Amino acid sequence: MNGYLEAQEQWDQRLDQELTWSWGHRPRREAMAPPPPLAASTPLLHGEFGSYPDPSLRLALTLTPQALHIQKLRPKPEARPRGGLVLLTEVSGCCTLRSCNPSDSAAYFCIYTYPRGRRKGRRKATHTFQADGAATYEENRAEAQRWATALTCLLRGLPLPGDGEITSQLLPRPPRLLLLVNPFGGRGLAWQWCKNHVLPMISEAGLSFNLIQTERQNHARELVQGLSLSEWDGIVTLSGDGLLYEVLNGLLDRPDWEEAVKTPVGILPCGSGNALAGAVNQHGGFKPALGIDLLLNCSLLLCRGGSHPLDLLSVTLASGSRCFSFLSVAWGFVSDVDIQSERFRALGSARFTLSTVLGLATLHTYRGRLSYLPATMEPASPTPAHGLSRAKSELTLAPAPAPPVAHSPLHRSVSDLPLPLPQPALMSPGSPEPLPILSLNGGGPELAGDWGGAGDAPLSPDPLVPSPPGSPKAALLSPIIEGAPETPASSEFLPPTPDGDPVAVSPGGPLDHLLPPLGSPLPPGWVTLEGDFVLMLAISPSHLGADLVAAPHARFDDGLVHLCWVRGGISRTALLRLFLAMEHGSHFSLGCPQLCYAPARAFRLEPLTPRGVLTVDGEQVEYGPLQAQVHPGLGTLLTGPPGHSGREP
């Protein structure tokens, strides 16, 4: 066994990291006192187990901070067993079980994994081990629970006692998540993906949830305005980027926005535009992925918990209204492609490819003025007395290397929590069938499938932590009421878009201390460029799409907005080459003279062409001058533990 562990040490060292993340709201920095990090190859537990359903197969298990090592002992020992390494990055959760046979004194320990197959796609695999080293069930149960508790602590970033006993008392209550799913996301597969992939994984991880399907535009915004946020550990959207845009702006629309915006939010990619999920996937150390693989990667990260500060961009539009962006502000080619692709929504993510080809065929240039406060400049107090600062020449920079109104009661709600609704949930004609309540610790349905016999499954769930009084299983949560309890007087909506749908904006949120009123002269220290643009993109995270790395060096909390623009005069071939290189984040290395970049803390865009399209996080907004400022770490994003590039084998 020691030889096998030594053979894995080189790989484990690449996975070494601090296990300090945990569920819940972001802790205060001064209050954090994480324990010293454990080496990836440090053995934490070691023991002998039987294999289920064949107990004659004896296994030696060794748990380290990064993996579970499995070695076959009998009937034929293996020095280097195939499949003998289970990486914790591929584990969604675990549970303990007991036999339905009263005379069976063994206890069982089950883990759920999602390893990559030969075709690089993830497939679910369940490992069940039999703890039978003691004479009584109580002793075997204590051993199985010791392993399950230790593994759960590692998955959730909870500290393990140095010399103390590992018991289920180390585990806090299960985190409570509100899941919001857009059933029409992507190609209309969001509900199916949620039912087949997300809910089973969340159940396996032991997370409690309430799931609500959104029914219209701005539905999620109205829902979060009426939430009792203290009862939830996170709000997770299952759709594209647009649903999270609604949630964040809804939180900032509340009278208590300063506390509300601290609520951790997460995203599971079930739409066609999955830019933030692509950035979360990269932050977690996974290789680029699309479709189901991207969803499974992000679900694994969500199951492990952990949050990260998220910069938000306050965008003031021509009418004076304001909205908040977590992703991008786009003008020109990018926004044209985004909005035109709506006609091809049935194609899923392929709609962007088709719209890009059409956009290249009818390439336009737009006259405009771009001003920005460089990231290296100290902020000056914006006063109208200062004249407009103009740069003598345009800068071409390469990025540094990476370090409401009340509506009908809620419909189509699924939960493993006893969450009361304003009235009994209704089923609309043609809506999906309601889901069965899933076991809190998973295991039951899966083990029934593992067992090939007739009749009832021989194992039943044996929860690690029984539900105490006041737990989610015993206490009712507050009803969810749509709309804010108290609507601020300044709440408003933007003028209708060309499609006729109003785009909601946020009147709340912090003040933009770096920006003078829109239309007033800018203070000293700003750089201003005027000319013909093919596109202008202001982006916060690294990804513009799940497979488009527009700002490869960007971080969720770098306090910057990354400005990328392409000047007029670029050929269609060169522009296409830029977007192809963007799939790998290598477009800045092409040396394209029309491609420019600048990190900034605030910017102002003044289109001088009378017609055009502006988008904020992929949503069309009113056309005209706008300005924006970064608010560092204003939000909190559920990202899972940080990873390292190339951590996947």
Active site residues: 241
What the block records as the tokens of 631 is 């608010």
CA distances from 46 to 2, 62, 70, 321, 425 (A): 12, 4, 10, 60, 49
CA distances from 339 to 256, 343, 359, 616 (A): 33, 8, 11, 11
What the block records as the tokens of 500 is 């006729």
**Helix extents (H) in 383-538:** 444-450
What the block records as the tokens of 481 is 């009421």
How many angstroms from the chain centroid is the CA of residue 600? 25
> Directed axis angle between helix 350-361 and helix 572-582, to 10°?
160
Q: Please, are residues 624 and 317 in contact by the beta-carbon 8 Å criterion? A: yes
Sheet with 125-131, edge to edge strand ranges: 85-87, 67-74, 58-63, 45-51, 125-131, 107-113, 91-99, 459-461
Residue position matching structure tokens 């108290």: 486
- DSSP 8-class letter at 116: B
The total of other beta-carbon atoms located within 10 Å of residue 32's CB is: 9
CA distances from 191 to 24, 124, 222, 280, 435 (A): 26, 19, 21, 21, 11
